Structure 1
Amino acid sequence: MAEQFSNAQPIYLQLVQRICRQIVRREVQPGDKLPSVRDLAVQFGVNPNTIQRVNMELERMGIVESRRGQGMFVTEDTKQLNIIRDQLRDEHITRFTNEMRELGYTEEEIISGVQNFLRNEKGQ
């Protein structure tokens, strides 16, 4: 089944982000083999060339490693994976705080709101 993609960003970048999130959430473990280009293309409903580009970008980022004749594997370099995890967190926090500021909230109101949310979430 084909995935839904946004028109705001190239598909290959959206797929890079999805795979990074899977790795950060530990749905895909360090050292795991990624599905083949063909399998991923079918899974996401995209051209195999798009998956090749995704793999090249993930490899450039140090998230996956190509093993000749075996395929692509998630790096076992936990330091690099932690860097990616921190980058994803920072991107989400930046986006959230920018939106809150655009709505007119102060830093104190944002912090208070997040703290209240987390307290209430724990009580549920």
Structure 2
Amino acid sequence: MNVLQFDQRSPVYLQVIRWFKERIATGEFVGGQEIPSRRALAAELGINPNTAQKVYKEMEEQQLITTERNVPSRITTDPRVVERVRAEMLDEAVAQFVMAVQAIQIPLDEVMTTVQHVYQTSERGEVNA
């Protein structure tokens, strides 16, 4: 598991959940994949075990993971949940982008042209889009 760099802007448990969501959305974590125990996650990330417990409880409520008694927790196999996570991540990214662009008052047609150009050049691996 990659080490997570925490910031001071939001609660640690939300940052850990987001980290899991990003990996679920990108397919790095696949349906049915085992995840570390709460205790192992806490040790690996250097967080309080109670925080890890809160992370797992919230992820269970959001159906991101499934947990059964005496069996390791696993990433959801429900494609609807994965699609919901992807849509949520996209909506957040677009909302942040739109707010930033609106703050500098760039016309939408110019924004769309620039976004398309940058997206295409980054897909091709070109530097300095």
For 1:34-49, what aligned pairs fall within 5 Å after superposition? 34-49=35-50
Cα pair distance change 1:76/1:43, threshold 3 Å: same
Structure 1, residues 59-79: CA drift from partner, whole Å, max 9, x if none? 111111111111211111011
* d(CA) in 1 for partners of 2:120, 2:37: 43
Alpha-carbon distance, 1:120 to partner: 2.7
After the TM superposition, list the runs of 4 or more consecutive aligned residues in structure 1 that deviate by more than 6 angstroms: none
Aligned length: 124
Partner of 1:18: 19
Partner of 1:29: 30
Partner of 2:75: 74
* d(CA) in 2 for partners of 1:41, 1:28: 18
Cα pair distance change 1:54/1:123, threshold 3 Å: closer
Cα root mean square deviation, aligned: 1.7
Partner of 2:64: 63
* d(CA) in 1 for partners of 2:21, 2:4: 16
Partner of 1:112: 113
The 8 Å contact of residues 2 and 43 in structure 1, kept in 2 or not, is answered as yes
Q: Is 1:92 paired with 2:93?
A: yes
**Same amino acid, percent of matched pairs:** 27
Cα pair distance change 1:91/1:46, threshold 3 Å: same
TM-score by length of 2: 0.89
TM-score by length of 1: 0.92
* d(CA) in 1 for partners of 2:121, 2:37: 43
